[in-house]
Amino acid sequence: MSTVVVSCEKAGCPAPEGGACIDGLTVEECPNVQVEPELDEEFPEDLSEEQTEPQGADTTVDGDGEGFPVHTSETTLAPADAQLLLTRSGGCVVLLAGEEETGKTTLASELYGRFVEDRGFAGWVFAGSQTLIAFEERLHDSRLASQRSVPVTRRTPYSASGFLHLRLLPASASAPVDFLLSDFPGELFRRVREGQDDPDAIDGLSRSDKIAVLVDGARLALPSEREMALTQSRRLLQRLAEHSGVESTADFAVIVTKWDEVACDPRAEAYWEQHRDQFLHEVLKEKPPTEFRIAARPAAHSPPIGLDAFLEWLGRPPSMRGATPLPGTDRHPSRWLSRI
């Protein structure tokens, strides 16, 4: 199996860029280099031999993110492309799980939107993305340029589902962290919750570092929908938490989305307060999920609620780990590189 030089401790050595050793030694002889297996041997045959990044046009960003690749893919990342990125730089896979209209796409896209408005947010700096166009498409109908009177998020069809990518630089570190946020159709999670599909049907479940189950706050605000909304989300949480393919170290969270609609109705908020402890402790007794109350896109263009706390949870160790390949790839990479 061939190897590739990924770094050299000797300044000015061109070996990591494909050149010869500065001391004229072979890779096997040189004590200063760090090598990895050639990536082309670790991935499916349908990946091009020349492909070293997911397909698209690369450029760079300025400022604190200078030198980090920015990808302009028109789509989300497929599992094989996500695997390629993780193998090169490590990262955190985030599964946003919820049925139709729970706010999965809005949550992911508005998190990206915080960095569009201001490069820095909640102690992180934007350092690039390989799905910029996909993010922008998801945000379009919430902006004034769409000429819509009410901001909306289009539902994610199966054909556009995959992983959204954010590369962020922590204020307290010198290396960026790659986050892969799932954007899958709500129908998929409904079928898993109902038992029509096995949880294995969810791409990346076995590799997920963070698993967030969403509760639709808009349904909590409706007396006729409250009980069913909690029952369905609790069942989905149970199906995911009890699945043998989920890593024991995966962090779980329960997110009540559209919290502004709950907070403005005392009866809806009281209902959640009454049932939250049972919801959080019933399924995961030994390690209850973290609770978040989030309004990613509140009414009347108010500031978002809870995104900063959610981002802090995403970046919290020990989520930066890995050893299991995403579905759609054949083999384990030889080594996962962590950024935290």
Give the DSSP H or E segment for 69: strand 69-71
From CA 161, how far away is CA 142, in angstroms rounded?
A: 19
CA distances from 68 to 51, 79, 80 (A): 18, 22, 21
Report pLDDT for 65.
Answer: 40
Report pLDDT for 42.
Answer: 33
pLDDT tens over the chain, length 340 residues? 345 544 666 766 776 666 677 777 776 677 776 654 443 333 333 333 344 444 443 433 433 444 444 444 558 899 889 988 888 888 999 999 999 999 999 999 999 999 988 778 999 999 999 999 999 888 866 554 444 445 556 666 666 789 999 999 998 777 899 999 999 999 999 999 999 999 999 999 999 999 999 999 999 999 999 999 999 999 999 999 999 999 888 999 999 999 999 999 999 999 999 999 999 999 998 889 999 999 999 987 789 999 999 999 999 875 443 334 444 443 333 323 333 2
From CA 106, how far away is CA 96, in angstroms rounded?
A: 11
Report pLDDT for 317.
Answer: 72
* Paired residues of 293 in beta bridges: 256
Strand-strand pairing, 124-128 and 162-170: antiparallel
Report pLDDT for 57.
Answer: 39
Instruction: List the domains of the chain with CATH numbers.
Output: 59-314 (3.40.50.300)
Predicted TM-score of the model (pTM)? 0.73
Report pLDDT for 58.
Answer: 43
What length is written for the chain?
A: 340
From CA 213, how far away is CA 161, in angstroms rounded?
A: 17
Report pLDDT for 118.
Answer: 77
